[in-house]
């Protein structure tokens, strides 16, 4: 289903699989300052003066945090990437926030840990985990060591600090090296 996110700057159109996902995206991305529209009518108000919990309780029978936990993080991530693709600073901030949200001792069962029990299970089932000092090959072919692991943001997708460069999404590469991934809109 198509939705429109109304921001002070301009409206953004995005696709979401369901209404609850669209509402969570609008609430998180706009911090309560964006409204959500569908087919030319407002379906979620602006919460700049409060009321988010009451609205979610009325609309979904649950608090915002519970609704947010029940939606697909992968879908939210894909929607954010689409909306923020032309805003590199906001995309960078989003990736850092996403890594903080995903940093958790709770792990999901994954096929990697079932096939290779010696591997530590990760939240998104990554088969490889970066270590400080591992090398990352950037898109411009420079190689820099990982200074800090900021978090797992998807299966075999990590956000790391490379020192001079605040944070980059990386994935396992060839020859024991990690590789920067390009973020683009499909």
The answer on pLDDT for 111 being more than 50 is no
Q: Quick one: pLDDT at residue 121?
A: 59
Q: Convert the pLDDT of each residue in 21-79 to its tens digit.
A: 889 888 887 777 888 899 989 998 888 788 888 899 999 998 888 888 888 877 877 77
From residue 135, how far is each of 122, 132, 147 by CA, in Å? Answer: 21, 9, 10
Distance between CA 122 and CA 110 in Å, rounded? 8
The answer on pLDDT for 113 being more than 80 is no
Q: Quick one: pLDDT at residue 118?
A: 42
Q: Quick one: pLDDT at residue 176?
A: 72
Q: Quick one: pLDDT at residue 117?
A: 42
Percentage of the residues of the chain whose pLDDT score is greater than 70:
74
Domain ranges of the chain: 2-84, 100-180
């Amino acid at each position: 289903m198509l939705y429109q996110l109304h921001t002070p700057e301009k409206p953004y159109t995005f696709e979401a699989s369901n209404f609850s996902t669209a509402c969570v995206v609008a609430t998180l991305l706009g911090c309560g300052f964006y409204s959500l529209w569908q087919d030319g009518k407002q379906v979620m108000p602006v919460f700049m003066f409060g009321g988010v919990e009451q609205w979610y309780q009325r609309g979904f029978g649950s608090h915002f945090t519970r609704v947010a936990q029940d939606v697909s993080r992968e879908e939210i991530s894909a929607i954010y990437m689409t909306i923020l693709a032309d805003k590199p600073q906001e995309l960078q901030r989003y990736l850092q926030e996403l890594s903080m949200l995903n940093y958790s001792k709770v792990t999901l069962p994954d096929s990697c840990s079932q096939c290779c029990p010696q591997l530590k299970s990760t939240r998104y089932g990554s088969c490889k985990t970066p270590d400080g000092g591992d090398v990352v090959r950037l898109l411009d072919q420079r190689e820099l060591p990982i200074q800090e692991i900021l978090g797992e943001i998807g299966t075999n997708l990590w956000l790391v600090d490379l020192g001079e460069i605040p944070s980059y999404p990386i994935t396992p590469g060839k020859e024991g090296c990690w590789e920067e991934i390009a973020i683009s809109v499909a």
